[in-house]
Amino acid sequence: MTETKNHQETVRFVQVNSIAAQIELVYQKLKSQIQHLLPESEIRHIGSTSIPDSLSKGDLDVLVMVKTASFEGAEQTLSKLFEDNSGTEATHYFHSYVSTEHPIEVGIQLKTIDSKWPCFLLWQKRLLEDINVRNEYDDLKRSFEGKLMTDYRRAKERLIEKYYPSD
């Protein structure tokens, strides 16, 4: 959940368990819609709302993975349905979108299956398997409650980089 303060977005966190049912409904609807349009894609629920007992901004992140040869076509298809995420730069292996048609914020991350970065699935696996890292991440979130989203995102990137350096 986010708020705008002096035209700058601030961050608020909620317990994932309190919004899990709503998140799952939106995820299943989007997954079905995307799978119908991109039948060879692999679709996953990622981000903090995919980690039980954690803190989240209350948004849903959906990862859509396609083969490199299918990436451009998938980009064209998803661009007809969703808005570009202006906060991220598109590359030849990654493109980020947002959906504003749901009661919650939704991010759709399109990437090639064989690209190492962004490391969404590695980070998700680490958070699911390592309670110490999950606690470290939740502590970071608590320390940014009500503060600027841009500052939180930079700190989050540094934390992920600590475990998965981008070389």
User: Which segments in the chain show pLDDT lower than 50?
Assistant: 1-6
Domains in the chain: boundaries: 2-163
pLDDT score, position 167: 58
pLDDT score, position 46: 98
- Select from 3.30.460.10, 3.40.50.720, 3.40.50.1100, 3.10.150.10 the CATH code of 2-163: 3.30.460.10
Q: CA–CA distance from 14 to each of 50, 54, 142, 156 (Å)?
A: 13, 8, 10, 17
pLDDT score, position 5: 45
pLDDT score, position 7: 52
pLDDT score, position 4: 45
Q: Where are the alpha helices (DSSP H) in the chain?
A: 20-37, 71-81, 120-129, 131-143, 149-163
pLDDT score, position 65: 98
pLDDT score, position 149: 93
